Structure 1
Amino acid sequence: MRNALIFACLATMLTPAPLAAQFMPLTLDRIFGKSAIRGEGVEGGEWTRDGRGYTAIEGSKDVAGGSDLVRYDVAGNTRAVLVSARDLIVKETGKPIAIQSYAWSADGGKLLIFNNGVRFRRTRALGDYWLFDLASKTLRRIGGDAPASSLMYAEFSPDGSRIAYVRSNDLYVEPVAGGTARRLTSDGSELIVNGLGDWVYEEEFYLRKAWKWSPDSKRIAFWRFDTSGIGTFYMITNTVGQYSKPIPLQYPKVGTTNSAVRVGSVDVASGATQWVKLAGDPRQNYVPQMSWAPDSGQLFLQYANRLQNTYQVLRADPVTGATTKLFVERDAAWVEANVDPTWLDRGRRFTWLSERDGWRHLYLVSADGKRVDLRTPGKFDVVDLLQVDEAGGWAWFIASPDNPTQRYLYRASLTGKPRVERVTPAGQAGTHGYDIAPGAHWARHTVSAADRAPVTDMIDLTTQNPVRVLARNAALQDVIAKEPLAATEFTRIDLGKGVSVDASIIKPAGFDPAKRYPVLFHVYGEPWGQTVADAWGGNTALWHRMLAERGYIVASIDPRGTATPRGRDWRKSIYRQLGVIGPEDYAAGVRKLLNQRSYMDPERIGIWGWSGGGSSTLHAMFRFPDLFRTGIAVAAVADQSLYDTVYQERYMGLPSDNAAGFKAGSPITYADGLKGNLLVIHGTGDDNVHYQNMEVLEDRLIAANKPFTMMAYPDRTHGIYEKPGTSLHLFSLMTRYLETNLPAGGR
């Protein structure tokens, strides 16, 4: 028996384990290069108005370079071509229109097609628009003699009779039946912008298309930005010819002049504009949201002071410009803008999200603003309001009351006693996203976790049963399943004095608790991000897993102030102390982990982050140099005075009344504390966090005689992804730097 056992053990040792034999280590090329593992997603898929199907853009099999617009029926899983690429061939050129986006007229008989998109700031918003008539199969370019790729944000009027768009910073309208386009605003220029958000409104309030049709199609409400008072920041490109070229950008830096903003309502028939009468200096207040009430007779606006801690909710008469105050939303720190409200009960109530009771909740507010009805009571945050289904009587939203690293679907009753129900079934831990069809019968559902690739399926919301898988990501999941890594650990660290922070830890391959390993912390640490999430993190997650395969512990901590659903006090505890409290929490959390986990090597602690995470990395390296030995800061804000008004002043107040806070929150203040290995990386074409930050930091480090390493990526923006090979080069650089300065492996 003993010999038989020995032979059995030998046989097991000599027979390769199936998973081990198939395991292929992750490489930079497999993540970012030509042989990269391709993820699957669900492209297109706009729901039909009846909620029974969806339309999608698909490459044509018959016409090279062309696109078909197809409709899928959910229940029957049938496919029908609505518009064929053969119908979208331009007679003058003989070439098809490749659909990039589209919109239907109200009667479904006409299609507005966007193509030839070129970059405008963050998106490819400039392009050509074509009108296709499904009955006559006719095709016409919108804009008449407008230059190629010069129109923006074209849209049908609700009655389908006209199309409006922005061209050269002015609003235009033209009849769907054909005829000459009319210019509705006439003062558009390089500095006067009608119908588009200026740079900071687009970045911080997500305002790109800045105009809206009235429900009766008779008027258009729009924002007008006078950017003439804003300081001009010049970026430089050196790669376009023999001489450098300056790129001017109207960018309001902290404490400087904002655009003068007005909201107008133009009568489409007469072209006459009435301006909304807003009290106060138009450069010292914001209008982050404006929409039409259902009756076309009133505009709904959110009007914020410069500190963004007082939001007046107003109704305005589009004919006279007179305003009526409905209510005021205040906070000792800041107030977040709401998206356009959903109106209920034929305009008698509207939706509103507020943190007034300490949690972000859904309220229904009467049209006069006098009654405010809480619909999601409880100690949890509404993360995202997905849909308000008045006919069904439910508001559908994302929340996670028990675990801020995860996300689930809930619904709340719209009438009667408030009732909140979890919709995502139990036993499906992770992060769930839903694209809900009108009527809330069907939904596209995507679920992922830190160690599970995203899977998208079509589900029946009435039963929670899946109908079919739309994207399985089997190749990506196969890589994850065969890795020699333990499951990602999620934990909470008690920092004392009632403060605890969430953390995640990926242990290295072949982990031996008797050894000590280097730790690389991934940080963001500011109000617009969360890194400790039980969700798939894309290529960055694969890079972290590659590092773990090579012998690193990869960890993360979310300090106070990050965008986690832990309540108002958690998020706003950093007010006027952005860049102060977060780094202190991070350092305290790292020290706690080192005390609790002997396998973490205190001599090999690294940290890296991007944007706000780059700033947090600089703080860590400068303020806690005996703790963090190696850091990589990408696209970091080095000095808070160099960032924009809306973001920085929202969290810090004005520099005139918080000079000490701005200084304490700026990493450059502590640059002479650097002891370890620091790599700073920036794109010279970054229009968000300017390359200027890199240069002023370099100046300070040079003056202090501190050695550091730097890499500038020519003409790349904040994401540092443009041009071939950029991502592979960037992450190869960071990998080499870590392997050189933070050696991998247990000791």
Structure 2
Amino acid sequence: MKRNIIALVTVILIGYQSEAQSNKTLSLEDIYKNNVYQQKGFGPVRWMKDNKGYSTLESNAKLEGKDIVKYEAKSGKRTVLVSASQLIPKNKNEALIISDYQWSNDDSKLLVFTNTKRVWRYNTKGDYWVLDLVTNTLKQLGADLPESTLMFAKFSPDASKVAFVSELNIFVQDLKTNTVNQLTKDGGDHIINGTFDWVYEEELSCRDGFRWSPDGEHIAYWQSNTEGVGTFYMINNIDSIYSKPIPMPYPKVGTTLSSVKVGVIPVKGGETKWFDIPGDSRNNYLARMDFIPNSNEVMVQQLNRPQNQNKVWVGDIETMKLNNILTETDDAFLDIHDDIRWLDHEKYFTWSSERDGWLHLYKVSRNGEEIQPITKGNFDVVNINNIDVKGGYVYYIASPDNFTQRYLYRSKINGKGKAERITPENQVGQSKYQISSDAKWAIQTFENTTTPSIYSLVSLPAHKSVRVLEDNSALKQKYDVLGVNNKEFIKVNIGDDVLDAWMIKPKDFDASKKYPLFFYVYGEPAGSTVQDNWAGGDLWHHYIADQGYVVISVDNRGTKTPRGRDWRKSIYGQIGILASEDQSKAATEILKTYNFLDSERVGIWGWSGGGQMTLNCMFRYPEIYKAGLAVSFVSDQRLYDATYQERYMGLLEDNAKGYYDGSPINYAQHLEGNLMVIHGTADDNVHYQSYEMLVDRLIKYNKLFSMMSYPMRSHSIHERENTSYHLRETMEKYWKEHLPAGGK
């Protein structure tokens, strides 16, 4: 239930000026139907290998297509590297639509991803074309293969070949001869080569499942065998006169996982050699694998099923010998980090760990015997942006003093000295950075709750602004004229801890009146709701506030915030239990603190993990919450996928009571207030089954409630015409009927 926090609280923003906007009135129609509030992005950006400039996409003045242009960082000089006219295939009149692109190592060739299709959450299937910039020739890869079936195409190190996945097999195409060589032939049915099953993608962020060796002679890849994994069936009842079952292998809590292994195959073809990694292949995860630069060795990270032990193996692709160089353990759970960089001619690598109670970066010797801290202090490193070996610094995001914000820091790779903040003190909010490899330049994205994304080119380490690339000023003006009350960040002392929260008051707020209290909740370890970021303007909650509600969101213990290991892992084994207790204590404290809140009108809503939390709060603390709305929720934790749920709850046989107590379905008999439940019938993440089982239980206990199903909509309930607008109008209607608005 990673559960798409940002996607659930933001809006789809595309837009134009409306009458409602000119009248300074925020409407659901403008947000979800007319799509007035568009935020412009910038990019995608690729820093050039000389670090003197970057490439990006811009519309061609004459053609329906995009040019790839280069800007010199210092001067701003613009050069068209690839014109849309060069991306028009023979016998076609239109240029390729660039969904993504990559340069070869020598910049002589361009790989273009186009005509994409969605696989689960992401568009990872499509067509690939290669433009040879020397000969100015454009050719399609795998032209004889089925359309839009290619995945994860990558140049070989010398750019003479491209490897890709199609229909669960790995192929290599020679760019000189155009010969396509199919390396694996057993893909299909329950065998997956070079990519992953649903749960690896969703919970371990594994999608691209193969790697070129540094010498370009071999490919290492994952193979998954889903035989024995339980099949879940979704049903399509609306696209034909007969229903169509949609099967998907989906390992639920305590059931069989896919068998996964890593093998190596010569690019010229032949047999795959498999690493014999110790342990049951169905009760361990091979969560990461990559080649060590300038070697014939791969590094593999193996998580055990409870995900509290990560064994790091180094395997030689010639001898297939394995060495366990590092083992990370935790009393609760471990997260996988993508922070490995090789240093000192591959004698050391960087490694993220919470071993001292905070998430920090370490320098580890190749044999694992030396482990030295690089970053130090009572703060978490949120993510690594750049390791500048020549300059001697690592650049990273952190926020030691305010857990709702994010800033750029740097520390010396040798571990000496203190962390140095790079983001200026006057840029209060959250910043992200795309840094050139020499750490002299960066594209900064700055935002906060009242400021949509501002993209700027800055020089480092002084953080001097060179030029603004996109400021979203038009959107900022639209937002400002709405006259909404900004989010107020507050602290809530629940006795056990002090929690971060935000509050939005109605436009016409009158402190002498009492207003209904409307909680927005998530509460699980995969995300956080209390962040000083734009989040699409959070227009849904501003709209609700202006109907006459005070909207509040609280981050309970265990949410994904940079407050240290103990904070994040306090929730271990008690998902739904500790969080709902914290939320109830926060609600009680908030009602005592603010006299303008009406304790008889308290509502709560959430999506996904937040939907589960809504149900737990409603059922476990009925004396507090008078109305609730749960969307796309898990009602019984045993119904969710094994990888997510077992990470945070432990194995079912070890924590049966925790699974029972944390599942709201087991407390449905305590419902007293008004409840509405909403779900999409094609939810591949949190299955519609969870909704139906709760409905069945509520009927058993003769509990009256409201319900809404969205046929063939997924976890985010946005597909098909008018869905988002209809959903939000349905939600608004429910709130106004069951949690009367306005100050009294």
1:727 maps to what in 2?
724
Alpha-carbon separation, structure 1, partners of 2:58 and 2:236? 37
Shift in Å, 1:486: 4.0
Deviates more, 1:549-558 or 1:53-62: 53-62
Pairing partner for 1:718 from 715, 718, 725: 715
Structure-2 separation of matches of 1:340 and 1:278: 23
* Inter-CA distance 35–531: structure 2 relative to 1 (3 Å threshold): closer
- Which position in structure 1 is the counterpart of 2:38? 38
Partner of 1:738: 735
Choose the corresponding residue for 2:690, options 673, 688, 693. Answer: 693
Match of residue 456 from structure 2: 457
Change (3 A) 1:691 1:167: same
* Structure 2 unpaired stretches of 5+: 1-19
Distance 1:77 1:642 in 2: 54
CA shift in 2, pair 1:326/1:206, >3 Å: same
Deviation at 1:269, TM superposition (A): 2.7
Deviations 1:154-195 (A, max 9, x none): 110011111100011111111111232111112111210010
Partner in structure 1 of residue 236 of structure 2: 237
**Residue number in structure 2 paired with 1:11:** none
Q: What is the aligned partner in structure 1 of residue 52 from structure 2?
A: 52
Other-structure match for 1:374: 373
Kindly provide the CA deviation profile for residues 349-386 of structure 1, in whole angstroms up to 9, marking residues without a partner as x.
11111000111011111111011111111110011111
In the other structure, the counterpart of 1:182 is: 181
State the 1:63 CA deviation: 2.4
Distance in 2, Cα, partners of 1:426 & 1:85 = 42
Which residue identity lines up with residue 490 of structure 2 in the other structure?
Answer: T
Q: Secondary structure at the match of 2:381?
A: coil
Distance 1:507 1:558 in 2: 19
Give the Cα–Cα distance (whole angstroms) in 1 for the partners of residues 483 and 523 of structure 2.
30
CA distance in 1, matches of 2:81, 2:475: 33
Name the SS of the counterpart of 1:236 in structure 2: strand
The answer as to whether partners of 1:317 and 1:323 remain within 8 angstroms in 2 is yes
- Aligned residue among 519, 529, 532 for 1:531: 529
* Structure 1 residue 428 displacement after superposition: 2.2
Greater relative contact order structure (CA < 8 Å, 6+ sep): 2
Contact 2:238–2:711 under 8 Å retained in 1: yes
C-alpha spacing 1:21/1:436, structure 2 compared with 1 (3 Å) = closer
Match for 1:442: what amino acid? W
- Of the three residues 495, 499, 503, the one matched with 1:505 is 503
After TM superposition, where is structure 1 displaced by more than 6 Å over at least 4 residues in a row? none
- Mapping of 1:436-585 within 5 angstroms? 436-496=435-495, 498-538=496-536, 541-585=538-582
Q: Provide the rounded CA distance (Å) in 2 between the counterparts of 1:21 and 1:194.
A: 51
Give the aligned residue type for 2:366: A
Tell me which residue corresponds to 2:659.
662
Q: Distance in 2 between matches of 1:21 and 1:617?
A: 33
Measure the CA separation in 2 of the matches of 1:571 and 1:340. 20
Count of residues paired in the alignment: 725
SS of structure 1 residue aligned to 2:345: helix
Contact 1:484 1:549 in 2 (8 A): no
For 1:4, the equivalent position in structure 2 comes to none
Instruction: Compare CA radii of gyration and give the structure with the larger one.
Output: 1
- State the Cα distance separating 1:483 from its structure 2 match: 4.0
Deviation per residue, 1:255-303 (Å, 9 max, x gap): 0000001011112134232211211110011110111111222111111
Residue pair 1:37, 1:475 contacting (<8 A) in 2 also:
no
Within a 5 Å distance, the mapping from 1:668-679 to structure 2 comes to 668-679=665-676
TM-superposed deviation, 1:96: 2.6
**CA-atom RMSD in angstroms:** 1.6
Q: Is the 8 A contact 1:484 1:510 kept in 2?
A: no
Q: How does 1:390-409 map to 2 (within 5 A)?
A: 390-409=389-408
- Of 167-176 and 444-453, deviating more is 444-453
Residue matched to 2:196: 197
Contiguous gaps of at least 5 residues in structure 1: 1-19
Distance 1:289 1:310 in 2: 14
Deviations 1:600-627 (A, max 9, x none): 1101111111110111011111111121
Alpha-carbon distance in 1 for matches of 2:24, 2:444: 30
Partner of 1:14: none
**Deviates further, 339-348 or 21-30:** 21-30
Could you tell me which amino acid in structure 1 is paired with residue 296 of structure 2? Answer: G
Equivalent residue number for residue 280 of structure 1: 279
Aligned residues of 1:519 and 1:604 also touching (Cα < 8 A): yes
Q: CA deviation at 1:340?
A: 5.6
What is the CA-CA distance between 1:469 and the residue it aligns to? Answer: 1.6
Inter-partner Cα distance in structure 2 for 1:295 and 1:273: 22
2:624 aligns with one of 602, 606, 627 = 627
CA separation of 1:102 and 1:179: change in aligned 2, threshold 3 A? same
Q: What is the alpha-carbon distance in structure 1 between the residues aligned to residue 184 and residue 601 of structure 2?
A: 61
Matched, 1:215 2:214: yes
Task: Note the alpha carbon deviations across 1:573-621, whole angstroms, 9 max, x for none.
Answer: 1111111100000000000010111111101111111110111011111
Query: Do the aligned residues in 1 keep the contact of 2:151 with 2:166 (CA within 8 Å)?
Result: yes
8 Å CA contact 2:339, 2:351 repeated in 1: no
CA distance in 2, matches of 1:656, 1:494: 35
- Structure 1 position 305 matched with structure 2 position 304: yes
Contact 2:53 2:71 in 1 (8 A): yes
Letter in structure 1 aligned against 2:579: G
Distance in 2, matches of 1:741 and 1:484, equals: 27
Give, in whole Å, the separation in 1 of the partners of 2:694 and 2:93: 54
Contact 1:310/1:329 (<8 A) preserved? yes
Residue range with higher mean Cα deviation, 639-648 or 264-273 = 264-273
Q: Are 1:614 and 2:611 an aligned pair?
A: yes
